Amino acid sequence: QQWQMNIGVSEDNLLFSCSVWRPQGKSYLFFTQFKAEVKGAKIEYAMAYSQAAVGGQSDVPLKQEEFEITETTVSHREGKFRFELSKLMIVAKTPRDEL
């Protein structure tokens, strides 16, 4: 199964984004769990999807109870995650050094 990853940085180098997705849309893999961790930054926004956009269709987000977001991780929620994951997107902000 082919997956893609895209990493971006804002012009001021404060925001970083990372997306991992299956370009064919829905994954046929059965996920029992998932976890993505950010080091050296804090998560500002994250979203997990059961189906990635393909053929004019939109991304299909997981239900909020299926995953959890902390300052540094995005992961499945034990007993709530329905085993479908086709896309994960994270935007994190680096701490700003004060003079």
pLDDT in tens, 23-45: 888 777 788 999 999 999 999 99
Question: What's the rounded Cα separation, in Å, for the pair 83 and 63?
Answer: 12
Q: Mean pLDDT across the chain, nearest whole number?
A: 91
What is the reported pTM? Answer: 0.87
- Other residues' Cβ atoms within 10 Å of the Cβ of residue 67: 21
Model pLDDT for residues 76-91, shown as the tens digit of each residue: 999 999 999 999 999 9
Q: Is the pLDDT of residue 99 over 60?
A: no
pLDDT at 16 over 80: yes
What pLDDT does 95 receive? 83
Whether the CB-CB separation of 44 and 16 falls below 8 Å is answered with no
Q: Domain ranges in the chain? A: 4-93
